[in-house]
């Protein structure tokens, strides 16, 4: 009788959770990935990101041969012009490029200078280039946006910018502090000419907030995704990351216990798998997408996984694998581009069919009771 009573109690306790989940992800669309669209965008490139600019052209930036590059597509990402150099420096890698299309038609490219021989005189910096002709040519800002230290333990990483509804610009980046890492932000009121001093946007004390990606939600609120190593137990000496969403608080930094910080995934992960490098995007209908690089399927490999969340960037579920399972190598430094109301492009750095570089694949947004004719590689996991 005691065993039966315990089982009944377990059912009663878990039923509300099941009902809550069903309510939370009811009505969210899914993404069906079309294997026939998978292709190599650029050999030997990594860290790819796409952005549509004012005239409808799609730009794709990436890191290759220690420089940042941009290429253009006038036919909805089917074909691409030759890449042009948009960011470089002496004795550094121009890494982690991110595009920001402004309402005035200009385009900004932010990138992270990383010294080849750290610890000497060359600094880690956040830099910016500007294009006023649709991404055909780029002019570097003479001075860095931000200058960090000369060693990685005092460096800066992964800049990403967003233009707010009031046209103010914010650039976010990870910044090393002694024994911890913050997300810092800087502000410009003149489209990137002059920048404020950095201020702290988020910090989980004695942990590492990293890889910010800002996004303006449909209701105008600003959020950013991060990888957060303070919500899961360590794997021996190694930190374990989980994707976390932060609502940007203009009044001050978002700490560990703030209601403006929440774990992204509806189904929390067990074990010591790493789910890192999150990237946020928003569908035309308001729902949000989140990509990560994850080794939850196999600890030997990092794979791109995509989740669908609600219009508040919460309750991410409907996990899918754009490039299939298993891959031939790691799928890393991923991103998403919402091409139109019905389709999205996933980008990853991987070796597929023996070719290493920046790969992409297209997916169709599918809602309840909607059928598609695409070839789904793996479907929901």
131-187 pLDDT tens trace: 999 999 999 999 999 999 999 999 999 999 999 999 999 999 999 999 999 999 999
- The pLDDT assigned to 125 comes to 98
- The pLDDT assigned to 213 comes to 98
Using the predicted structure, report yes or no on whether residue 8 has a pLDDT greater than 90. no
* Contact in structure between 113 and 89 (CB atoms under 8 Å): yes
For residues 65-73, average pLDDT: 98
Average pLDDT across the chain, whole number: 90
Q: What is the DSSP string of 176-224?
A: EETTEEEEEEEEESSTTSS-PPPEEEE--TTSBEEEEEEEE-TTS-EEE
Q: How far apart, in whole angstroms, are the C-alpha atoms of residue 90 and residue 113?
A: 9
Say if residue 309 is exposed, middle or buried (CB neighbours under 10 Å; 0-12, 13-18, 19+). buried
pLDDT tens for each residue of 219-235:
999 999 999 999 887 77
Question: The tokens of 362 are what?
Answer: 């297209």
pLDDT tens for each residue of 295-316:
998 888 999 999 999 999 999 9
- The pLDDT assigned to 370 comes to 65
For residues 55-79, average pLDDT: 98
Q: How far apart, in whole angstroms, are the C-alpha atoms of residue 257 and residue 242?
A: 16
Phi, psi values for residue 29, rounded to 5°: -75, 170
pLDDT tens for each residue of 82-105:
999 999 999 999 999 999 999 999
* Contact in structure between 86 and 59 (CB atoms under 8 Å): no
Helix (H, G, I), strand (E, B) or coil at 325: coil
* Contact in structure between 337 and 360 (CB atoms under 8 Å): no
Q: How far apart, in whole angstroms, are the C-alpha atoms of residue 86 and residue 83?
A: 9
Question: The tokens of 213 are what?
Answer: 């990606």
- The pLDDT assigned to 18 comes to 40
Fold adopted by 29-366: Neuraminidase (2.120.10)
pLDDT band per the 50, 70, 90 thresholds, residue 5: very low
Query: How is the chain split into domains, by residue range?
Result: 29-366
pTM of the model: 0.90
Sheet hosting strand 242-247, strand order edge to edge: 209-216, 222-228, 242-247, 261-263
Q: How far apart, in whole angstroms, are the C-alpha atoms of residue 307 and residue 215?
A: 16
Alpha helix positions (H), the chain: 2-25
Helix (H, G, I), strand (E, B) or coil at 10: helix
């Amino acid at each position: 009788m005691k065993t039966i009573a315990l089982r009944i109690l377990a059912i009663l306790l878990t039923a509300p959770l099941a009902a809550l989940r069903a309510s939370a992800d009811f009505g969210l669309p899914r993404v069906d990935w079309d294997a026939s669209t998978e292709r190599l965008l650029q050999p030997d490139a990594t860290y790819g990101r796409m952005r549509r600019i004012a005239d409808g052209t799609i730009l794709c930036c990436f890191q290759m041969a220690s420089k940042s590059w941009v290429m253009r597509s006038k036919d909805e990402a089917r074909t691409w012009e030759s890449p042009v150099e948009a960011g470089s420096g002496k004795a550094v890698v121009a890494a982690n490029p991110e595009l920001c299309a402004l309402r005035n038609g200009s385009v900004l490219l932010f990138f992270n200078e990383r010294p080849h021989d750290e610890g000497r005189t060359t600094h880690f910096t956040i830099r910016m280039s500007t294009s006023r002709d649709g991404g055909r040519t780029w002019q570097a800002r003479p001075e860095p946006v931000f200058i960090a230290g000369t060693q990685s333990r005092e460096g800066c990483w992964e800049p990403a910018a967003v233009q707010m509804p009031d046209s103010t610009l914010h650039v976010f980046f990870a910044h090393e502090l002694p024994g911890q890492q913050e997300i810092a932000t800087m502000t410009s009121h003149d489209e990137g000419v002059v920048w404020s001093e950095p201020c702290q946007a988020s910090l989980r004390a004695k942990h590492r907030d990293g890889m910010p990606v800002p996004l303006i939600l449909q209701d105008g609120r600003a959020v950013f995704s991060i990888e957060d190593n303070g919500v899961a137990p360590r794997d021996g000496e190694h930190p374990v990351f989980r994707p976390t969403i932060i609502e940007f608080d203009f009044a001050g930094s978002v700490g560990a216990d703030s209601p403006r910080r929440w774990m992204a995934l509806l189904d929390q992960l067990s074990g010591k798998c790493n789910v890192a490098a999150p990237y946020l995007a928003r569908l035309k209908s308001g729902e949000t997408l989140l990509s990560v690089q994850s080794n939850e399927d196999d600890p030997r490999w990092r794979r791109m996984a995509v989740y669908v969340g609600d219009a508040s960037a919460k309750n991410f579920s409907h996990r899918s694998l754009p490039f299939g399972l298993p891959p031939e190598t790691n799928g890393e430094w991923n991103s998403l581009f919402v091409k139109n109301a019905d389709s999205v492009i996933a980008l990853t750095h991987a070796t597929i069919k023996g070719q290493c570089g920046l790969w992409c694949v297209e997916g169709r947004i599918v809602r309840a009771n909607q059928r598609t004719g695409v070839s789904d590689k793996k479907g929901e996991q």
